[in-house]
Chain A
C-alpha cells in the first residue's frame, strides 16, 4: 500500500488526479476502522493531514463561513459553537473525546453514512459542500444534493472535499439524536432543525432513517405555509409538523432499531426541537445549554 503525503492543496489534488483510487485520510476515524476490519484493501492512502489550509476556517465576504474539511470536531465546538450551534450540538454527540479530537466534518461527508451526525444540521442550515479536482476546478454542491445513496456522495473519484460553507445561525438551531446508550453511539435516528427568521422558513434534516440523510421537505413546506411567526406555537401545527417529519423518513429494521420506532422517534424529535427553537425564538435570546 502506498502512502501519499501531499503538503499543499494543489499537490493533494494532483495526487488524487494521478491516483483516483487512493483513499483520502483525514482523522482516520472511519478509514482506520475499515482497514482494521479488513473491509477493503486500498492500493494507496492519501494523507491530508499535512495540508494546512484544510484545517482552517474563515469568514467569507458574503458573510458565510468556509470551514476546511480537516477542522476537527473539538475545534468546531470551541471556535464555531456560537455561530453554528446546530452543527456544534451534533459534533458534541460524535463518539468520544478521542474521536472528536481527530474526526472531522470532511471525513463525515467523505464517508456519507446515513448515520453521520453532521449531515442533518448541514441540511437544515443550507450548507454547501465545496469540492475540487485538478481537472475541473471547484464545484459547489448543496448538501441536499451531496448524498446520493447509502454511503455514496456526489464526489467524483478525482475530487477532494475542500470545505463546507454555511451561514452563521440567524435563529435558533437544535440537533437531537437517539441512541441506545448515553454516549459513544451511532444514531438510531436523528433530527436537526434551523429557524431562518428573515426568510420565515424552517430548515430540517433527518439522519439514519432513510438511505441517505434528507430534508423533511413536506414538513418544511407545511411550516412555511402555516407557521405564524408572530404567535405562540399552535399545537395543531406542531402535531402536523411531527407527522410530516415522520412521514419523510423511510427507515429500515436493523440491529440498531426498528423502522416503526425510528419513524415514531423522528416525529417526537421534530416536535420537541421545533418547540425548543420556537420558545427560544419567541423569548428573543439564544439559550445556551451545557453538553
Chain B
C-alpha cells in the first residue's frame, strides 16, 4: 500500500507502518507501540516533521475581540528578506469560510472584521520561523476597534443586543418537554433551586497545533497533520483550496493529545495555501501562547435549575435553563446544545421536565468540542441539585440518587428507552461501600492541602465526602451516521502470517492502534499485526471523539477481519479440495484453521501460501433520530455510559486550599478490552474533571484571554491527582461490538461534581461555580 499520486518526497519523521508489540488479543493488555517512545521523548509528533527546503509559516492574529479591519498593508512584510509569501483573505483560492457540520461561518482569514481575539488575519512564509515572525510584525493593519459583545444572557434573550453573526445571536435553542411541569409544581412538597456556572476549560493538550504541507506534482498537496478526524478536515479543506478531494493526501502525524480541541481546523488550510502559493513545503507550529487561540475551548455555562419533589425525595419535576456561550463561530455548538438538552437532568427518572438549552454567539473565545461535550456542564448542575435535594429531604446523597435512579428500561428526558443494562443504584451502593481512605496524617505536610508549600500543619483542615454520577452519550447522536471504515490484509511475510490494519482513525493517545491490533489477533488467530499510518487512502473512520473509536473503528476492524477470515476459510476449503460447508464450524486460533469437529485442519501460513486476502468494511451503528425541535423527543443517542465517583477531600477552610485525598470510581464499560488503557482513560478523565473542579479556567475579561500560558492556566500535577480505587463492571451492551461501552468521557463528567460536593461537605458552603477558587471558600471578594 504505497502512497499514490503525489510523487513528492516523504518528510523526515513522517509516520510509518508500526508493528504492534506483544501478542495479546481482546481482553489482554499488550503494551502500546507509542508508549516507550513517548516516555523517552523519542515519539515523532507533528511538530517534529521536517523536509529539505521547507518554509515556516506564521499566522497574524487579531489583538482585538471585535473590530472592523479598515486596511491591511503587507508590503513591508513582503519586502522583509527571507520572506516568500504574505497572504490574506484575498488569496484564499476557493471558499472563504469553513466550519464543522453545516454552518460554514468561520473565515479562513478574516475579511473586513474580526470577531474574537486571536482570529487569523494574514499568513507569512519565510525561510526561518523567526524571520516569519519578524515579518509578521511588519504587516500593518488599521482597525476600528469596537466594544466587544460578551454578555451571553443578553445575546440569548435581548433582541436589542447587537449581533455577532448575521444569522442572529442564537446558534441553537433546544427545548425538552415532558409531562406538565406547571401542574407538578402545585403538588411538590419540597422545592429546591440553584444557579450554577462553569468557567471555560481548555483541552490543554501538550502537543501544540502543527503540521506540514508539501505541494505535489499534480497540483495538489500532501498534508501531514495532527487531527481528530481527517475526512472531515478534508471536506472543509478541499473547497477552501479549490481542489478536488483526491488531490489532497492527508496523513495523520504524531498527535500530542486532543480532547476535542482538534476537531476544528487550525493550521491545515493555512499551511496548504502557503505551500500551493510558494511551491515549497511549509511547516507551521504554534507556540503555547498561540495554541490558546488556535483551538476552541469548553463552553462556559450559566444554568438555572428548579426541582420539586415529594418529602421522601422523589423528583416530580425539573425546570431547567442552560445557557452556553459558543463565542464568535458555530464550531460544535449545535451538538453541544443537543447534548446539554437531552442529558440536562442526567440519569434520573423525572416525570415532568422542562429544559431549555441555548447556545449563543458572542465575541468571547470560540468554544466547541471538549471531552464530555455539553454533558459536563449539565452534570455539574444536576448533581449539585441532587445534593441540595438530599439536604432538603433529610436524605443522604447516595439514597436520593438511588431513589430517582434510571435503570434498564427507563426513559431518558427525550423519551428514549435505555435498552442496555444500567445498574446505577447498585453502582452507587458499590461506590459508598468501598473502603474509605485512612484519616488524615498531618505529621507530613505533603499530605495536607498546600503540600510542601506548607500553608498548614493541620490547622483549619476539614474532611469532606461527596458523590457524583454522570451519563454520557457514546458515538454521534441526533441522526448522524458516523460510520467507520477498516481495511485488513492478511499475507505471509517471512514465513509468518501478518495482518495489516489500515484505517483513517486518529490515534490521539487513547490507545486505539493497540486495540486495533488486539482485535485483529482475536479475529484472525495471528500474532503479528502491523498498523498502517492513518491516512485518507482508506474510507472515513469518523472522529476520535464522543468516546466512539473502540465502538466504531473497533467494530470496523472486527468486521473487516471477519471478512478476511471467511476468505481464509474459502481458501482452506480449496486447498483441502473439499466444499466449505462440509468443513463444519471453523475458526482461526493460534495460527491454525480449526474445525470444531475435526480439530486443526492446517496452519494459516499453509492455507495462504502466496495469496493475499484483503477486505475493506464499513461499520455503522444503529440509526438514531433527531430531537423534536419543540419537545426534544427522539431516540437520539447511540449508546449511554455511566460513571459514579466518590471523592474524599481535605479542605483548609481558612485559606480555601483543597487536597483531593482519594477518588473512587465505579464505571460500567460493558467489556474490558484492554485493562491498562481503560484504567488510563478513567484516571485521565477523572483528572480532567478534577482540574475543572478546582483549578482549570481560561479567565476572560472584555473578550480577552488573561492567562494564555501554562504558568497561569493550571492543570493538575501528579501531586494534585490522588490515587484511585476503581470498580469496573462488564454489563454488556447487546448492540455494541464485544458488548463494549465507550469509556473515555464518563469519568470526566462525574468527578467534578463529586469533588465539589465533598468540598461543600467539608465547608458547608453552597459553591455554585467551578472551578472553585480559594476566595470562594474563604468568602473573600
Measured CB to CB, the residues of A under 8 A from B are 36-38, 89, 92-93, 96, 174-186, 188, 255-258, 260-261, 263-265, 268-269, 272, 275-276, 289-291
4 shortest interchain CB distances as A-B pairs: A261-B780, A261-B775, A182-B451, A183-B719
| B781 contacts chain A at the CB level, 8 A cutoff | yes
Q: Besides the contacts A185-B453, A258-B780, what 5 more A-B pairs have beta carbons closer than 8 Å? A: A93-B452, A178-B657, A257-B774, A261-B780, A291-B452
B654 touches A255 (CB 8 A): no
CA distance A174 to B450 in the complex (A): 14
What per-residue 1/0 map shows which CB atoms of B430-461 lie under 8 Å from chain A? 00000000000000111001111111110110
Chain A residues contacting B655 (CB-CB under 8 Å) are 178, 265, 268-269
CA distance A175 to B450 in the complex (A): 12
Q: Which of A38, A177, A272, A289 contacts B453 (CB 8 A)?
A: A177
Interface residue total, chain B, C-beta cutoff 8 A:
42
List 13 A-B pairs, Cβ < 8 Å: A36-B287, A174-B454, A176-B454, A178-B450, A180-B657, A180-B714, A181-B694, A182-B451, A182-B719, A183-B717, A255-B712, A263-B780, A291-B452
The distance from the CB of B138 to the nearest CB of chain A, in whole angstroms, is 15
B775 touches A260 (CB 8 A): yes
Chain A residues contacting B707 (CB-CB under 8 Å) are 255
Q: Which residue on chain A has the smallest CB distance to residue B659?
A: A182
The distance from the CB of B360 to the nearest CB of chain A, in whole angstroms, is 25
A261 touches B456 (CB 8 A): no
A181 touches B717 (CB 8 A): yes
The distance from the CB of A84 to the nearest CB of chain B, in whole angstroms, is 15
B451 touches A272 (CB 8 A): no
CA distance A265 to B777 in the complex (A): 12
Q: Which residue on chain A has the smallest CB distance to residue B701?
A: A255
A182 touches B449 (CB 8 A): yes
A291 touches B454 (CB 8 A): yes
A175 touches B454 (CB 8 A): yes
Interface centre among A178, A188, A255 (most CB of B within 10 A): A255
Number of residue pairs A-B, CB distance < 8 angstroms:
113
Chain A residues contacting B717 (CB-CB under 8 Å) are 96, 181-184
A37 touches B444 (CB 8 A): no
Chain B residues contacting A174 (CB-CB under 8 Å) are 454
A260 touches B446 (CB 8 A): no
Q: Which residue on chain B has the smallest CB distance to residue A183?
A: B719
| B716 contacts chain A at the CB level, 8 A cutoff | yes
Chain A residues contacting B451 (CB-CB under 8 Å) are 182-183, 291
Chain B residues contacting A181 (CB-CB under 8 Å) are 694-695, 714, 716-717, 719-720
Q: Which residue on chain B has the smallest CB distance to residue A258?
A: B775
| B157 contacts chain A at the CB level, 8 A cutoff | no
B775 touches A257 (CB 8 A): yes
The distance from the CB of A272 to the nearest CB of chain B, in whole angstroms, is 6
B716 touches A178 (CB 8 A): no
Q: In the complex where A177-B454, A268-B655, A290-B445 touch, is A261 in contact with B712 (Cβ < 8 A)?
A: no
Chain A residues contacting B445 (CB-CB under 8 Å) are 289-291
| B656 contacts chain A at the CB level, 8 A cutoff | yes
Q: Which of B452, B455, B459 contacts A183 (CB 8 A)?
A: B452
What per-residue 1/0 map shows which CB atoms of B272-289 lie under 8 Å from chain A? 000000000000000101
Which B106-151 residues sit within 8 Å CB-CB of chain A? 133
CA distance A45 to B446 in the complex (A): 38
CA distance A225 to B773 in the complex (A): 37
Q: Which of B133, B455, B775 contacts A177 (CB 8 A)?
A: B455
A176 touches B453 (CB 8 A): yes
Interface centre among B455, B709, B711 (most CB of A within 10 A): B455
The distance from the CB of A106 to the nearest CB of chain B, in whole angstroms, is 21
Chain B residues contacting A182 (CB-CB under 8 Å) are 449-451, 453, 659, 717, 719-720
| B402 contacts chain A at the CB level, 8 A cutoff | no
Q: Which of A180, A186, A268, A272 contacts B457 (CB 8 A)?
A: A272
The distance from the CB of A66 to the nearest CB of chain B, in whole angstroms, is 27
